[in-house]
Structure 1
Amino acid sequence: MPELPDLEIFSRNLEHHLKGKQLREIVVKNPKKLNVSVKELNLSIENQKLINVSRSGKELYFEFENKAVLSFHLMLKGELHFLKKEESPKHSILEMHFKDGSHLCLTDFRGMAKATLNPAEDPAPDALAKEIDEHFFKNIFASKKAAVKNVLLDQHVIRGIGNAYADEILWEAGISPFSSAYKIPVEKLKDLAKAVRHVLKNAVEQISKTHPAIISGEVRDFLKIHSPKKTHSPSGVPIIIVKTGARKTYYTEEQEIYN
């Protein structure tokens, strides 16, 4: 699943290619993945100029000149494609055709990716919001007995962090992913807040350097802990992998557990 750093680069590249272009037509191949009727979507954004592409949490926002916003959530395997006019990709959910001949398509072979017209404002902050500090975590964790990793993955608490980056953040902060959130001391919450910002911003920089034009997929080769290709952390401690359902957690004995 693309996480915050991937989507941040996607949004920048999409804005570079599409900002200022007028939407000629929107073709919906899977209406079930829309929150409104195809007719309402057409009336809202067809013939409108795209003025901004941004990211919020794990969603991409396409804002048009009439203030209408269309958001994409790629879910686990959704992808975006720039297309030539004659192309018609498999597993298409929605296609945006611009008057200059540009085409952007949202696909998902699992059929899970979705589009939302004028999404409601989400009360949970983005992981890179200024408010994500030790005070935020102190207030949030006070009533959370769940494992800290599960809390970080809860998009109703903080938006944008997925499985891989949760492991990276917790390793950098020196906190075991199995710690009870409410048991983590305040001084470690400072480390956690710093790790959230540093890990995510560094990932954006790394992806931008190695895959500057990317609009789909995941780039993970620079990760320090969450990598099946690595056996030890940068400090030489063995990486432990625990599988829970379909999710794997990567961590080391360097991380202190609070229970």
Structure 2
Amino acid sequence: MPELPEVECVRRTLEPAVLGRAIVAVQINYAKAVLPDARAFADGLGGKSITATARHGKLLILGLDQGAFMTIHLRMTGQVIVADQAPQADHIHARIDLDDGQSLFYRDMRKFGRLNYCPDAQALQNGPLANMGPDALELEAEAFATLVGARGGKLKNVLLDQRVLAGVGNIYADESLHRAGLSPLADPRALSADDLDRLHRALRQTLLEALEQGGSSVRNFMDAHGRAGTFQHSHRVYRRTGQPCPVCGQPVERIVVAGRGTHFCPACQEKC
């Protein structure tokens, strides 16, 4: 599933192609992919210009004139592609034609992703942004410690909770916990101030390094120009079960935490 670095890579590669462009036509091939419904989505976008691009957590946000917004949540296999002709691929659920002859294509093999038209900021806040915590890259260390350290349960579950911290998923939770030397099973309330500060720094460093390398293309992720990321080659523990930990050499183990495959080093990440 694309996480914060992957969505930010899409935003950065998408922005130069769409900023200032007017939407001249909208074609919906899979009605369930758009909200509130296909007609409202197409009518809302039609004739508007794209004035800004933004991201919050895993949510891609396109600002439109007249105070409107379009959001894209890629979920598991969503892709945003900008091209002057349709990609030679199936599962193209939406096409948005721009006034320079290029089009924005939305492709999604698993059909879990969603595009949403919001007529104003209130609709954006009450809809796609509802129940989202602060963005994982924008949260300062003190606020991070307050939010995460007050939660009960397992530490990895807290990092994955988008109501607490927006943008972190399975890959970057595992990678950040390993860098911080913390167990995914630790109780956040038992962590020291140093532990929480170390985790904040590890999370931020991991996300920024992933951004520099174009994200992780574990399954089918690509940016808006069809380029895969390379950060998967730098993963320390994620999907490296049985391989040596890059710090101590002990085999990486895999357990299931809240239904999610979780990878960690039992020596470097002893339970607190």
Fold in common (TM above 0.5): yes
Q: Counterparts of 1:64 and 1:234 in 2: how far apart (Å)?
A: 46
Larger CA deviation: 43-52 vs 167-176: 43-52
Q: Percent identity?
A: 26
Partner AA of 2:237 in structure 1: I
Quote how far apart the aligned CAs of 1:89 are: 4.2
Which stretch shifts more, 234-243 or 71-80?
234-243
Between the aligned partners of 1:231 and 1:177, the Cα distance in structure 2 is 18
Residue 149 of structure 2 aligns with which residue? 141
Counterparts of 1:140 and 1:247, CA distance in 2: 19
Question: Are the counterparts in 1 of residues 242 and 252 from structure 2 also a CA contact under 8 Å?
Answer: no
1:221 alignment partner, SS class: helix
Query: Which aligned pairs between 1:63-212 and structure 2 lie closer than 5 A?
Result: 63-85=63-85, 89-118=89-118, 119-120=124-125, 121-122=129-130, 123-129=132-138, 131-142=139-150, 144-207=151-214
Corresponding residue for residue 241 of structure 1:
253
Give the deviation of 1:74 after TM superposition.
0.7
Deviation at 1:250, TM superposition (A): 1.4
1:257 is matched by which residue type in structure 2? K
Alpha-carbon deviation of 1:240? 2.3
The CA deviation at 1:156 is 1.1
Instruction: Please give the root-mean-square deviation of Cα atoms over the aligned residues, in Å.
Output: 2.4
CA separation of 1:182 and 1:192: change in aligned 2, threshold 3 A: same
Q: 1:254 & 1:190 partners in 2: Cα distance?
A: 17
CA distance in 2, matches of 1:176, 1:10: 31
* Structure 1: gaps spanning 5 or more residues: none
Query: How far apart in 2 are the matches of 1:170 and 1:157?
Result: 16
Q: TM-score, normalised by structure 2?
A: 0.84
Letter in 2 for 1:133: A
Residues 225 and 239, structure 1, Cα contact 8 Å, conserved in 2: no
Number of residue pairs aligned between Structure 1 and Structure 2 = 253
1:19 equivalent in structure 2: 19
For residues 46 and 40 of structure 1, the distance between their equivalents in structure 2, rounded to whole angstroms, comes to 10
Provide the rounded CA distance (Å) in 1 between the counterparts of 2:83 and 2:94. Answer: 12
What per-residue deviation string (whole Å, max 9, x for no partner) do you get for residues 91-112 of structure 1? 2222111121111111112111
Structure 2: where are the runs of 5+ without partners? 119-123
**Could you tell me how far apart the structure 2 residues matched to 1:236 and 1:86 are?**
48
